Amino acid sequence: MIRSTLFFSLFLFVRAEDTEHLVSKVMVDDLFAKFVKVNNKYIYLLTQLQDMKLADYLHKSDKHERYPDVFREVGKRSHRPQKRFKLIIDDKENAKKASKAGIPILWIDSSYTKMLRYPMKIPDTIVVPREYEGVIESELKVHTFDSTDPFPTDSVIPQFEDVIVFMLEFDPLAARAMVDRNELDYGYLQDRIIQEGLEREASKVYLQDHLSFRVMETPLDRERLLKVIDRNKIQEVIP
């Protein structure tokens, strides 16, 4: 049974039996309400029909006290006694702690490009749902996904298809090579590209050769594309 808690109407709050963190968003103008599911968590989301002005932070329950290096308290508002927190993610271990505390988060680094047979160096990156972007404080690259589907419970390990979705924005040529060189769940990858609105990027590198989506961009020259991809090879998957 999901617990119901009533808060002031300009809040976005996450409710679940095992999770009691609250993402607060300051909003203006006309509002409407909807429910959004995040894994096993439920968000009651008040959003507006037009642009929003957002100031994000977390409310943290006592069960998160075992991760003091991940949750940093920020100043209280005089009329709100509840503590407010930001997430401090400096490395993979902190990302894992945040995940154990119920935060949807993924970790992507160069080990995944090797496993996907396109060895290239990429920056260590944390990926969160878009509504969590404002609560993160980090020197690392922070990337957001529109969909909450890719975020497992208590894990920062992404599916290979979600790494490719990330690479479509970071390096579309690399993403195409990864699709060519690996056995993937094409149905899931196709759904994720559409969820993230990346049909244009996917079209540029001929992912329509493998997937079905609306082509939105004149592709690159196919011969040149394949030559570039062919220059960077690896013979086996690195575990």
Average pLDDT over residues 115-140: 92
pTM (predicted TM-score) = 0.72
Residue 171 lies in a domain: yes
7-16, 57-66, 69-78, 207-216: least confidently modelled range = 7-16
Residue 48 lies in a domain: no
Quick one: CA torsion of 100, 102, 103, 106, rounded to 10 degrees?
Answer: 50
Of the ranges 58-62, 161-165, 210-214, the best mean pLDDT one: 161-165
The half-sphere exposure of 61 on its side-chain side, counting CA atoms within 13 A, is 14
The answer to whether the beta carbons of residues 94 and 70 sit under 8 Å apart is yes
State the total domains in the chain. 1
pLDDT, tens only, 123-135:
999 999 998 888 8
Quote the pLDDT of residue 27. 36
Higher pLDDT, 110 or 230: 110
- Closest to 137 measured CA to CA, from 63, 38, 56: 56
Residue 124 lies in a domain: yes
Residue 151 lies in a domain: yes
Residue 97 lies in a domain: yes
Residue 3 lies in a domain: no
Q: 90 pLDDT exceeds 50?
A: yes
Quote the pLDDT of residue 84. 77
Domain extent for 151? 62-230
pLDDT, tens only, 154-184:
899 999 999 999 999 999 999 999 999 999 9
Q: Which of the four pLDDT bands, split at 50, 70 and 90, describes residue 77?
A: low
Residue 81 lies in a domain: yes
What CA–CA distances, in Å, run from 64 to 68, 84, 93, 154?
A: 8, 13, 15, 14
What CA–CA distances, in Å, run from 224 to 173, 201, 205, 230?
A: 11, 17, 11, 10
